[in-house]
Amino acid sequence: MIALAPSVRTLRVFQILWVIGFLIGTITHTADLILGGLDVYGGFPPGVRLFWVTLTVLDPITAVLIILRRRSGIVLGIAVIVADIAVNWTVFVLLGGLSWFGVINQSLFAVLILATARPLWIWFGRSSTRERADAGRAA
């Protein structure tokens, strides 16, 4: 069975969905910090608190790398979302304090990330190869 490659339009939709998802994370964590200060996650263990504050930086970096079609954005995005759902599900089950809505939506976003990473990887690699070739010819 031959698998058809997604169209460029479909790949752009995947790219946009990644960016939107990571920008939602950025806005959420930034708003938490603005409204609650550095002690916003005070009821949780220090490692969890540090992780959530760190996402305020990692989420927008991921979004920018995906906008720029960098494979490093795919790697970072997978690492961030897998770590995030692992932390959040652990907190949800063991400590509580998180909503079903949040952990389910993040899990669905993780499925999207994992399902679209390979086609984006291929697409991002093609653009990088072309750009290097074009730069070499221009020099």
The predicted-structure confidence for 50-74, as pLDDT tens digits, reads as follows 999 999 999 999 999 999 999 999 9
What is the pLDDT at residue 126?
78
What is the pLDDT at residue 131?
53
Confidence class of residue 129 from pLDDT cuts 50, 70 and 90? low
- Per DSSP, helices labelled H in 41-99 are 46-67, 71-94
What is the pLDDT at residue 128?
56
Please determine, for residue 30, whether its predicted confidence score (pLDDT) is greater than 50. Answer: yes
According to DSSP, residue 98 is labeled: S
Stretch 115-136: mean pLDDT, rounded? 76
According to DSSP, residue 3 is labeled: P
Please determine, for residue 25, whether its predicted confidence score (pLDDT) is greater than 50. Answer: yes
What is the pLDDT at residue 135?
47
Determine the straight-line distance between the first and last CA of the chain, rounded to whole angstroms.
Answer: 43
Please determine, for residue 122, whether its predicted confidence score (pLDDT) is greater than 50. Answer: yes
Q: What is the pTM of this model?
A: 0.86
Q: What's the rounded Cα separation, in Å, for the pair 117 and 78?
A: 8
What is the pLDDT at residue 6?
87
